[in-house]
Amino acid sequence: MMIDKTTQALESALTMRDLRQKIISANIANAETPGFHARKLDFEDNLARALDLDGKRHIDVAPGDLGAKSSLSGFSPEIYEDPDGDVSNDGNTVNLEKEMASQAENSIMYKAALNLINKKLGALKYAASEGR
């Protein structure tokens, strides 16, 4: 199958959104854990910069890999403690409402990327069958 830059970007976005979902879920699960510090994952800016480099690079991220390393120079997910988190009396920094909103947004963006990949593959299938 012919994989272009757009398909690579969508595939990487799905992989990173899956990783983000795991991080958000861990934050939510630990909302009542004393001393737990919420984590975040940012990848959109790095992915956009990486895709605009020279068009010859590709992204290798294994789905479900919490280590999520990329062979693409300049592209890597950044997982870090949320600096915007307010520390509660027990030292926990999880804002449950914020995490739930992030989870909903991430889910919508994941579904959108998945729909785009499906449409792209549908168009390739149509072209391969010459419209029959």
Residue 52 is predicted with a pLDDT of 66
Residue 86, judged by CB atoms within 10 A of its CB (0-12, 13-18, 19+), counts as: exposed
Print the domain residue range for 87.
5-128
Q: How many domains does the chain have?
A: 1
- The pLDDT tens digits for 46-74 are 777 766 644 544 444 444 444 444 334 44
- The pLDDT tens digits for 13-26 are 899 999 999 999 99
For the entire predicted model, the pTM comes to: 0.74
Phi and psi at residue 127, in whole multiples of 5°?
-65, -40
